[in-house]
Structure 1
Amino acid sequence: MKVVKFGGSSLANGEQFDKVINIVTSDDDRKVIVTSAPGKRFDGDIKVTDLLIKYANLVLENKDYQDVYNKIVDRYQEISNYYKLSSDTIDKIKAKLTDLATSNYKDDEHLMAAFKAHGEFLNAITLADVLNSKGIKAKFLDPKEIGFLVGGEPNNADVLPETYANLAKIKFDDSKIVFPGFFGYSKDGDIFTFSRGGSDITGAILSRGFNADLYENFTDVDAIYVANNHIVKNPEAIKKMSYREMRELSYAGFSVFQDEAIIPAVEGQVPVNVKNTNDPQKPGTLIVPSQFLFNPANPITGIASSDRFSALYIHRYLLNKEVGFTLKLLQIFYKYGISYEHMPSGIDDLTVIFDKSKLDSETIKNLCNDVKKALNPDYIEWIDDYAIIMVVGEGLAHTVDTVSKIIDSLTEKNIAIDMINQGASRISIMIGTQVKDAKDAVRDIYDTFFN
């Protein structure tokens, strides 16, 4: 049995619905369909989720919302008209959208979560009606009715263990199950949405809960690629990768797929196949749990880079002999609520690497002043010009010359390496460079191993 999730661009209009229907009916094993909200139909279009957020804000501000309400209805009306559905479908959609504005909520966060979730909710209702109108047996499953329970916060939900017990009770027949992504219900009966990769998370939860053989995640790209195609021209597609490889690459900028979103599928030992709705015959990229052994053709699976980092460099003679030096430093970070990414060190030097998107100029200034007072370094420098490149592959653990090849390829092109570190898992090599060199470094490493 397969769980199949479709992204917003895959369900944006009637033409895209046709592709989805062809995909789910071409394989009897595709039993569970997870929907996203309708995405953009063309450049400059507005996603339904964004319209719903605007709708929510107008309700909160007690302003006229009729125009945005009509725009949301029009998106579903367009799909309904395409399939010549009865008026029952659009009447259900209008009623639910109207109820959103007139219902009582505990606070603004609960209201926003309820509004945002309805893009997926209404699209699942629509898709189930479309399938049945074409003679394809389908049933819409309401997350509330089947006990899809979540905790956490209204806009940052976490699945509860009870959900898996409730999913195990569901009996399958010859109908396709259509399930809305992105949200669940609290034990109090309130709608809570997932924070990131919402529909991806729902698909992963259902894959684990139903003990699926495969979780297919359909997007608008053919596969996950070895490198960013905006940096490397026509990079190779990754045919198969482990989940931990994906985690390492996502850290440095892989953005095709939200890595944390598929954790439930990984916990349930369910492989994930990323495929293209617009070209479903292509194999896509298969993501497998780490213990699923496979023999990669290349020691490197992927190369990613990000310039979102900054670094604090500290130099002090005999630093390695001072007991408690690092403890004092960590206490300063704790004072400001700062987490660090990496801390490579030498006998007299220490570099602490941060995600600079989580820092502001005032915090940086105060942090450096506190370090000077508490640690009395011989030299201290804050470095904003810092990029990290991740070279990742399960095959790295079984090769001995990969690091030397990387260093040679970069030094030949005059690219300075500020830091290099191989992770404890032995499947990733982290390289620090100046921002201006990062893209060239990715291209040089790619050429060394793939060209």
Structure 2
Amino acid sequence: MKVAKFGGSSVANAVQLQKVAEIIRSDANRKFVVVSAPGKRYSGDEKVTDILIQLGEAYKHGEEYTHYINKVMGRFKEIIEDLELSENILEDIRRTIEKVLEKDTSIELKLDSLKAVGEDSSAKILSGYLASLGENASYINPEEAGIIVSNEPGNAHILDESFSKIYSLREKDGIFVIPGFFGYTTEGELITFSRGGSDITGAIVAAGVQAELYENFTDVDSVYTVNPTLVDNPKEITTLTYREMRELSYAGFSVFHDEALIPAFEKGIPVCIKNTNNPHAPGTNIVAEKKESDKCVVGIASDTGFCSIYISKFLMNREVGFGRKLFQILEDEEVSFEHAPSGIDDMSIIIRESLLTPEKEKRVLDRMKNELKPEKIDIHRDLAMIMVVGEGLVSTIGIAQRATTAISSANVNIEMINQGSSEVSMMFGIESEGLQRGLQSLYTAFFE
């Protein structure tokens, strides 16, 4: 039994949905299908979810919003007509939107319900199309499927009680198409996961039905060793461990949100990333363990938009409670940190710049000066992080030397090194302007 999840590009139009149906029909084990909302059909196009968010924001601020409804309905009308499906599906989608707008509920719950229309409609259309081809296929709502979540609009978390309910779906016959991205609270309120939540739904369903494989169909043949937009023609990765994928996702790989696969990982279910447009390609397999290799580095990830707060104070290491007081300031200001490498008398706190507004930055720095009494405090902006990832990396001799040599040979200065906190990665902080040079040099050192 397999669970197959299809992303936004896979359900963007009728042609793509025909490919999806062919993939599902080619393997009787693909019994559970999870779908995203329609994505972009071409460069410059809009994702349906983005239009729904614009609709919600216009409604929230009392602005004209009917043209957003027309945009959404236009996208689905085109798909339904091209697939020669009943217009009843289109009317059902319109009624769903109208009911959400008319319902007497909080604006947060209303916005979540609007955002979910894209996935919900995709599932109804795909199940209808499969049925028109003679398949025993049906749409199943996440509440009926047993996807019970916490009451945190826009950031739902699955509840443990869900998995036994989802497992009971195994007893039913046919193909079940489930919309991704949202679940229901125990009180029956629709709540969405964080953005990219259809991947979360797919992993939850795979874990719940205890699938032999969770297939995640997207628009690339596999995961690549480095971002192909920054390095030309990078090599494909055939096999990754869960831990490697988590590290790569966290550090900027766009295939998955870094938390998306956790339900599948916890149940030990292997994941395969495949291409809807080239389904016979082997893809990238993500497994719990793999054989050791001489080339322990599997990928190099990167991300921009960081800053570093540097604090220096003589005998910092002997001051009991210094770290607690420092992180309490960040907690009070609701600022999460990414890394905190430290020495005897100094410490650097790596933070995403987007979390540090000018007002918040002033408050944080003022409190640190007044409460911690440092000799020096600086903030360094426009940093990029590069992460070298691979099982056994920390215990393999010479990896750090090869990495630092590659970065310096690209005439890039290393601002920060964090090695040892993870067994499968080492991280380098550099100026953003040197990111592409540093990545290219690292790729050459480890993969060419």
Shift of 1:65: 4.5
Considering only aligned residues, what root-mean-square deviation do their CA atoms show, in Å? Answer: 2.1
Q: SS in structure 1 opposite 2:5?
A: strand
Aligned-pair CA distance for 1:390: 0.7
Counterpart for residue 194 of structure 2 = 195
> 1:361 deviation in Å?
2.1
Which of 298, 308, 313 is the matching residue for 2:310? 313
CA distance in 2, matches of 1:385, 1:126: 45
Give the equivalent residue in structure 2 for 1:429.
426
Contact 1:3 1:206 in 2 (8 A): yes
Is 2:132 the counterpart of 1:133?
yes
- Superposed CA deviations along residues 147-198 of structure 1, whole A, max 9, x for unmatched, are 3221222322111222112112224455211111111112222211112211
Note if 1:218 corresponds to 2:217.
yes
More deviation in 245-254 or 261-270? 245-254
1:111 aligns to what?
A: 110
Deviation at 1:342, TM superposition (A): 2.0
SS of aligned partner of 1:367: helix
Q: 1:416 maps to what in 2?
A: 413
- In structure 2, what residue type is equivalent to 1:26? S
Distance 1:387 1:66, change over 3 A: closer
**Is the Cα–Cα contact under 8 Å of residues 196 and 261 in structure 1 kept in the other structure?**
no
* Structure-to-structure mapping, 1:257-272, within 5 angstroms: 257-272=256-271
- Secondary structure of residue in 1 paired with 2:259: helix
Query: 1 CA distance for matches of 2:278 and 2:179?
Result: 23
Q: CA deviation at 1:449?
A: 1.0
Q: What are the residue-to-residue correspondences of 1:7-406 with 2, within 5 Å?
A: 7-60=7-60, 65-102=65-102, 104-172=103-171, 175-289=174-288, 292-296=289-293, 298-406=295-403
- C-alpha distance 423-247 of structure 1, shift in aligned 2 (>3 A): farther
Q: Which SS does the other structure have where 2:116 is aligned?
A: helix
State the match for 2:5 in structure 1: 5
Conserved? CA contact 2:136–2:175, under 8 Å: yes
Which string of whole-angstrom CA distances, capped at 9 and with x for unpartnered residues, describes residues 3-53 of structure 1?
Answer: 001111111111111110111111111111111111222233222223333
Structure 2: gaps spanning 5 or more residues = none
Q: 1:64 to 1:213 in 2, by over 3 A?
A: same
Distance 1:375 1:91 in 2: 62
Structure 2: distance between partners of 1:384 and 1:56:
34
CA pair 331-56 structure 1, distance change in 2 beyond 3 A: closer
Query: For structure 1, which segment, 275-284 or 162-171, has the greater mean C-alpha deviation from structure 2 after superposition?
Result: 162-171
Q: 1:361 to 1:52 in 2, by over 3 A?
A: closer
Shift of 1:202: 0.8
Render the CA deviation track for 1:295-332: whole Å, top value 9, x for unaligned.
Answer: 34621111122232211222333333433433333343
Q: Deviations over 1:120-153 (max 9, x none)?
A: 1121111111111111221111223343221222
Q: How big is each residue's C-alpha offset from its partner over 1:247-275, in whole Å with a ceiling of 9 and x where there is no partner?
A: 22223211221121111111111111111
- Greater alpha carbon shift after TM alignment, 330-339 vs 186-195: 330-339
Cα pair 2:305 2:382 within 8 Å, conserved: no
The 10-residue stretch of structure 1 (424-433 or 371-380) with the greater mean CA deviation from structure 2: 371-380
Supply the distance in 2 between the matched residues of 1:412 and 1:39 (Cα, whole angstroms): 41
State whether residues 418 and 431 of structure 1, in contact with CA within 8 Å, keep that contact through their aligned partners in structure 2. Answer: yes
- Tell me the distance in 2 between the aligned counterparts of 1:60 and 1:321: 52
Q: Partners in 1 of 2:162 and 2:324 — Cα distance?
A: 41
Give secondary structure in 1 for the equivalent of 2:232: coil
Q: Contact 2:340 / 2:350 at 8 angstroms: preserved in 1?
A: yes
2:120, 2:55 → 1: CA distance?
Answer: 16
More divergent stretch after superposition (139-148 vs 126-135): 139-148
Q: Which amino acid in structure 2 is aligned with residue 156 of structure 1?
A: N
Distance 2:64 2:303 in 1: 43
- When normalised by structure 1's length, the TM-score is 0.93
Task: Report the more deviating stretch, 340-349 or 155-164.
Answer: 340-349
Report the alpha carbon displacement of residue 446 of structure 1 after superposing the two structures with TM. Answer: 1.0
The alignment covers a number of residue pairs equal to 448
Could you tell me whether the CA contact under 8 Å between 1:423 and 1:430 is conserved in 2?
Answer: no
Shift of 1:61: 5.3
Distance 1:86 1:349, change over 3 A: closer
Matches of 1:55 and 1:335, distance apart in 2: 34
Q: Are the equivalent residues in 2 in contact too, given 1:150–1:157 (CA < 8 A)?
A: yes
CA contact (8 A) 1:305 1:439 kept: no
Aligned in 2, Cα 1:107/1:373: closer, same or farther, shift over 3 Å?
closer
Report if the CA contact (8 A) 2:394-2:420 is conserved.
no
Paired residue secondary structure (2:274) = strand
Q: What's the offset of the Cα at 1:210?
A: 0.3
Contact 2:247/2:258 (CA < 8 Å) preserved in 1? no
- TM-score of the pair, normalised by structure 2: 0.93
Question: Helix, strand or coil for the counterpart of 2:138?
Answer: strand
The residue identity in structure 1 corresponding to 2:127 is: A
1:96–1:312: structure 2 CA closer, same or farther, 3 Å change rule? closer
Q: 2 CA distance for matches of 1:86 and 1:318?
A: 74
Segment drifting more, 107-116 vs 58-67 = 58-67
Amino acid at match of 1:250: S
- The 3 A distance-change label for structure 1 pair 187 and 326 is closer
Distance 2:173 2:263 in 1: 26
Q: Do the aligned residues in 1 keep the contact of 2:275 with 2:283 (CA within 8 Å)?
A: yes
Partner secondary structure for residue 429 of structure 1: strand
SS of the residue 2:427 aligns to: strand
Q: For the residues of structure 2 that align with 1:55 and 1:185, how far apart are their CA atoms?
A: 22
Aligned partners of 1:234, 1:228: CA distance in 2, in Å? 9
CA distance in 2 between partners of 1:382 and 1:72 (Å): 44
